[in-house]
Chains A and B, each alone.
Chain A
Amino acid sequence: MTRKKDHLLMIGFVLAVALGPLIMIPIGGGYPDLLQKFAIFGIFAIGFNILFGLTGYLSFGHAAFLGVGSYTAVWAFKLLTMNVIPALILATLFGGLFALVIGFIVLRRSGIYFSILTLAFAQMSYNLAYSVLTPITNGETGLQLSQNDLRVIDGLFGVERGEALPSTSLFGLSMYGWSGYYFCGVMLIVMFYISLRIYRSPFGMMLRAVKSNQNRMAYTGLNTRPYTLAAFVISGMYAGLAGGLMAITDPLAGAERMQWTASGEVVLMTILGGTGTLLGPVIGAGVIKYFENIFSSFNDSILMNAFSFLPDFLQHAVVTVTGLFVGDGWQLTLGVLFMVIVIFLPGGLMEGFSRLGKLVKRYRNPGPAPGGEPDAPVSER
C-alpha cells in the first residue's frame, strides 16, 4: 500500500518539476531564475528536514554547509574545470566532511544547547570567512572566477580560453536559463527520492525513535550517536550540494550565505511546509522564495492600481498599510507568516492540507458521525 502510494508520489513529483514552468506562469513565476531557486532551496530544505524532521535536532547553523559547498564549487571551477559534475561532487563531499567534523563535536549535546552550538560554529565560519580566511574566500568581495584561472582538466582537453569569462556547463550544455533549471530539477528529484528511501528505511525509523525518546533508546543499550551523526552528515551533504548548485547558477560565493539569517531561512521553510513530512520542505521553500520574489518587487504604484476600485480616501489608507508589507518590507510579511504558522498550524502547510482533505471527506459522506471523533494527530510527525 505505502509502496504504491510512494510510486504515485514520485510520479506526481516528477511531473510537477517537469511542468513547473507551466504551473508557475499564471502566477508570475515562470522564469528559470526563480524556478532554479525553488529547486536549490528545495534540496537545502529536504536535507535540513532529514535532520530536524526525523531526529528533532534543531540546527541553527545549517547555512555554514551551504557556504562551504559554494566555496568548494567555485574553487573546482577555478582549479579543475568549468564542467559542473566535479564541482557538485566536491561540494557535496566537502559539505559532508565539514558536517562530520562539526557534528562530531556538537552532537554531544541536545535540545537548545545543540541549537546554540551549531549557531556558534556557523557564526565562527562566517566571521572567519570574512576575516582571516580571505585568501580562500576572498572576504567581502566574494570568490569569483577570472580568466587566468588554472582549470587543469579543461587545459588537458584543450578547451579554448575565450576572451570573456567562462561559463558553467554540463559537457557543453549551458547552465543558464531553462537547461539550468532542468538540471537543478533533476537533482531535486534525485534528492527527493533519496530522502523518500531514508524515510522508509530502518535507518529512518531509528532516527524517528531518537526523536520520540532518546533516553529510552539509550536504555535499550543502543548507541544513538552514530545514527544522529549520520543524519547530520547527510543533511550537511544536501546543504553542500545546494551550495554547489547555487555556485553553478551564479559562480560567485560570498560569506553572507553562511550568516545565521540564512540558517533561519531554511528552518522557516521546513516549518512552513511541515516538519517531518516528505513534501513539506519543498513546498515551504517554494512558497517563501515565491513570496520573496513577488512581494519584494511590488511597490506603491502597483498597489495603487490594484486598489483603484476603492474610493479615494480608502485607497490611500489601504495602500499605506499594505505598502508596509511589500517591497523592502516583505520581511515583515515573512515574520507575520512565520508567527501565524507556528501559532495556528504547527504542522505547517501539509497539516493544513490534510485537515482540509478531512473536512472535504466529512462533508461528502456525512453518514452516522461517530460521536464527535477527535482530530487524529497527523501521522508523519
Chain B
Amino acid sequence: MDAFILQILNGLDKGAAYALIALGLTLVFGTLGVVNFAHGALFMLGAFCAVGLKALLTLEKITLDPNQLTAWGTPMEIRTPYIESWLGDFGHTLIDYSVPASILIAIPIMLAVGVLMERGLIRHFYKRLHAEQILVTFGLAIVVQEIVKAQFGANPIPQPAPDVVGGSADIGLLLGFAENAIVYPWWRIVYLLFAGVVIAAVFAFLQFTTFGMVVRAGMADRETVGLLGIDIDRRFTIVFGIAAVVAGLAGVMYTPILSPDYHMGMEFLVLSFVVVVVGGMGSLGGAVAAGFLLGVLQSFASMNEVKSLLPGIDQIVIYLIAVVVLLVRPRGLMGRKGVMED
C-alpha cells in the first residue's frame, strides 16, 4: 500500500508538468486552430528565466584579501554576490528563493514572447495546412533552442530549491504508515500545489470573466463572434500569450526537479502531444486529466515489480496507451466532435 501511494505521488509531479504544457497546447488548438510544435520551447524558455535570474543574482564581486593566503601563497579571493553586499541578509534570502522569485519575471517575459510569436509568425498560419503549421513551429523551436544553447551552453544547469523546502517530507507518518515508508521531497509538493493553482486560475479565467466568456464563444463559433463586432483575433492573441505563460511557469517551477538544458522542451513536447491526443484534442479538462493519468501510469510502469513482469514497459507505456486510446476511442478520452478531423 505504501509503495502504491509513493508511486502515485511520484507520478503526479511529472503529470503536473505534462498537464500544464498540454493545457497550453489545447488552448492554442481550441482558439487558433494551430498545431504548435514550439510549445515545448516555451516550457524551456520559462525554465531558463529561472536560470537567467539566478545568474544575475549571483553575479559576484571579487576582492583580494591579503591577510588570508591560499595554499600557493597568493592572497585569497573573497567572492560575495553584489546583491548580498548591497542588501545584506535580504539579498541572501533572495538568492535562496531565486526559483520562486523567477515567477515574477517569467510572467511578463513569457507573455511578451507569446504575443510576439503569435503576431509575428503564427498569425500568418491560421489558414495554412496543419503540416505547414507543424513544420514552421518545429523550425522555430529549433531556432529558440539553438539561441538558448549559444547563450547558456549545452550542459544542464542545476537550480536548487529554497532551503526551507529543500528536504523531504515523511508523508507516510501523516497517513499512519511506518516511519520513512513514504518519503517525498517538499519541493514536489509545492510544485503540485502550484500546478493546481495555475490550472484552476486558467479555468476560472475562462469560466468566470467576460473575457473568458468571449474566448469560449470564439472557440465554439469564431465567425459569429466576429460578426458581433468583437475583435476575436486580439483576444486569441492574448490567449496564446496566456498559454505561453502557463508553459513558462511550468518550466520555471520544474527547474529544481530537473536541471534545465536546452533540449528539455522537445522531450516534454513529444510527450505532451501524446497527452493532448489521449485527452482529446480541444478538450481542456481532458488534457489536464490525461496529463496526470499518464504521469501516474508512467511512474507505476517504472516500479521494479512491473518491470520484471513486462521488461521495458516503463519506456513505452505512454506511447502504448496513446496507441490503444486512439484506436479504441478515436477522439481521445474527452474529445469533442469536429476538432482537427479534416
User: Do these two chains really belong together in a complex?
Assistant: yes
Q: Are B146 and A331 within 8 A (Cβ)?
A: yes
**Residues from chain B with Cβ under 8 Å of A58 in the complex:** 131, 134
**Residues from chain B with Cβ under 8 Å of A173 in the complex:** none
Interface of B is mostly: helix
Q: Are B277 and A116 within 8 A (Cβ)?
A: yes
B208-243 interface bits toward A, Cβ cutoff 8 Å, 1 = contact, 0 = none? 000000000000000000000000000000000000
A328-371 interface bits toward B, Cβ cutoff 8 Å, 1 = contact, 0 = none? 11011011111100110010000000000000000000000000
Interface presence of B18 (CB below 8 A): no
Q: Are A120 and B323 within 8 A (Cβ)?
A: yes
A134-168 interface bits toward B, Cβ cutoff 8 Å, 1 = contact, 0 = none? 00000000000000000000000000000000000
Contact of B319 among A123, A264, A331, A342 (CB under 8 A): A123
Interface presence of A22 (CB below 8 A): no
Interface presence of A200 (CB below 8 A): no
Measured in the bound complex, the distance between the Cα atoms of B137 and A267 in whole Å is 14
Q: Are A112 and B322 within 8 A (Cβ)?
A: no
Contact of B277 among A105, A113, A264, A343 (CB under 8 A): A113
| Nearest chain B CB to A173 CB, angstrom units | 40
Q: Are B134 and A115 within 8 A (Cβ)?
A: yes
Measured in the bound complex, the distance between the Cα atoms of B328 and A109 in whole Å is 11
8 A Cβ contacts from B314-337 to A: 315-316, 319-320, 322-323, 326-327, 330
Contact of B340 among A111, A121, A128 (CB under 8 A): A111
In the complex with contacts A111-B340, A329-B146, A260-B132 CB distance below 8 A:
no
Q: Are A112 and B130 within 8 A (Cβ)?
A: yes
A257-271 interface bits toward B, Cβ cutoff 8 Å, 1 = contact, 0 = none? 000100010011001
Contact of A332 among B142, B316, B322 (CB under 8 A): B142
Residue of B with least CB distance to A132: B312
In the complex with contacts A116-B274, A127-B315, A132-B315, A332-B135 CB distance below 8 A:
no
Measured in the bound complex, the distance between the Cα atoms of B34 and A112 in whole Å is 11
Interface presence of B163 (CB below 8 A): no
Measured in the bound complex, the distance between the Cα atoms of B281 and A117 in whole Å is 14
| Nearest chain A CB to B311 CB, angstrom units | 5
Interface presence of A130 (CB below 8 A): yes
8 A Cβ contacts from A289-340 to B: 324, 328-329, 331-332, 334-339
Q: Are A338 and B323 within 8 A (Cβ)?
A: no
Measured in the bound complex, the distance between the Cα atoms of B320 and A119 in whole Å is 11
8 A Cβ contacts from B126-144 to A: 128, 130-132, 134-136, 138-143
**Residues from chain B with Cβ under 8 Å of A120 in the complex:** 274, 319, 322-323
Interface presence of A24 (CB below 8 A): no
Interface presence of B147 (CB below 8 A): yes
**Residues from chain B with Cβ under 8 Å of A179 in the complex:** none
| Nearest chain A CB to B152 CB, angstrom units | 13
Q: Interface range on chain B: under 10, 10 to 19, 20 to 34, or 35 or more?
A: 35 or more
**Residues from chain A with Cβ under 8 Å of B138 in the complex:** 264, 338
Q: Are A335 and B320 within 8 A (Cβ)?
A: no
Residue of B with least CB distance to A325: B146
Interface presence of A201 (CB below 8 A): no
**Residues from chain A with Cβ under 8 Å of B121 in the complex:** 339, 343
Measured in the bound complex, the distance between the Cα atoms of B140 and A342 in whole Å is 11
Measured in the bound complex, the distance between the Cα atoms of B35 and A343 in whole Å is 15
**Residues from chain B with Cβ under 8 Å of A121 in the complex:** 319, 323
Interface presence of A131 (CB below 8 A): yes
Interface presence of B305 (CB below 8 A): no
Measured in the bound complex, the distance between the Cα atoms of B327 and A268 in whole Å is 28
Interface presence of B273 (CB below 8 A): yes
In the complex with contacts A128-B315, A339-B140, A342-B132, A332-B146 CB distance below 8 A:
yes
8 A Cβ contacts from B270-312 to A: 270, 273-274, 277, 281, 311-312
Interface presence of A108 (CB below 8 A): yes
Interface presence of B150 (CB below 8 A): yes
Q: Are B142 and A338 within 8 A (Cβ)?
A: yes
**Residues from chain A with Cβ under 8 Å of B281 in the complex:** 112
Measured in the bound complex, the distance between the Cα atoms of B319 and A130 in whole Å is 16
Q: Are B323 and A128 within 8 A (Cβ)?
A: no
In the complex with contacts A335-B139, A335-B143, A338-B135, A109-B315 CB distance below 8 A:
no
B-side residues, CB < 8 A to A, are 35, 121, 124, 128, 130-132, 134-136, 138-143, 145-147, 149-150, 270, 273-274, 277, 281, 311-312, 315-316, 319-320, 322-323, 326-327, 330, 340-342
Closest 3 CB pairs of A and B: A335-B142, A132-B312, A338-B139
Given contacts A105-B323, A331-B142, 15 further A-B contacts (CB under 8 A): A58-B134, A112-B340, A113-B277, A116-B322, A117-B322, A124-B315, A127-B316, A132-B312, A268-B135, A329-B146, A336-B139, A336-B143, A342-B139, A343-B124, A343-B136
The 26 sampled A-B contact pairs (Cβ below 8 Å) are A56-B131, A58-B131, A112-B281, A117-B323, A120-B323, A127-B316, A128-B312, A268-B135, A324-B146, A328-B149, A329-B149, A329-B150, A331-B145, A332-B143, A334-B142, A335-B146, A336-B143, A337-B139, A338-B138, A339-B121, A339-B136, A339-B143, A342-B132, A342-B135, A342-B139, A343-B136
